[in-house]
Amino acid sequence: MTTTILIPTPLRQFTNNSDSVAVEAGTVGEALASLCSKFAPLKRHLYTDDGKLRTFVNVYLNDEDIRYLQKESTPLKEKDILSIIPSIAGGKD
């Protein structure tokens, strides 16, 4: 199953500036693991030392937050789009 993962601007420095990465995976967790195996330095930015997704990193499957699906065990379908949505704060400056 090919899934496209959309990479947000702040994390593109770890993906050779790619804004999307295609991976083969059956679940959300597998897709993120595959992404991190392609771009090893990304892993620390997405996961804690004990392997949990960081709380300031939100992952969406299409338009739905995976926290309200089956989290990382959510199954993927063909053409699904996974988005990593980090918090950004800019505005006044």
Kindly list the residues in this chain that would bind another protein in the complex (CB under 8 A).
Answer: 8-10, 44-45, 48-50, 54-56, 58, 60, 63-65, 68, 83, 85-93
Min CB(68)–another protein separation in Å: 6
Q: Which residues pair with 56 in a beta bridge?
A: none
Q: Which is nearer to another protein, 24 or 52 (CB)?
A: 52
Which residues have a Cβ under 8 Å from the Cβ of 13 and sit 6 or more positions away? none
Q: How far is the CB of 1 from another protein (least distance, A)?
A: 22
Of the pair 19, 24, the CB lying nearest another protein is at: 19
For another protein, the closer CB: 24 or 85: 85
The Cα 19–Cα 4 span in angstroms is 10
Q: What is the DSSP string of 20-61?
A: EEEEE-SBHHHHHHHHHHHSGGGHHHHB-TTSPBPTTEEEEE
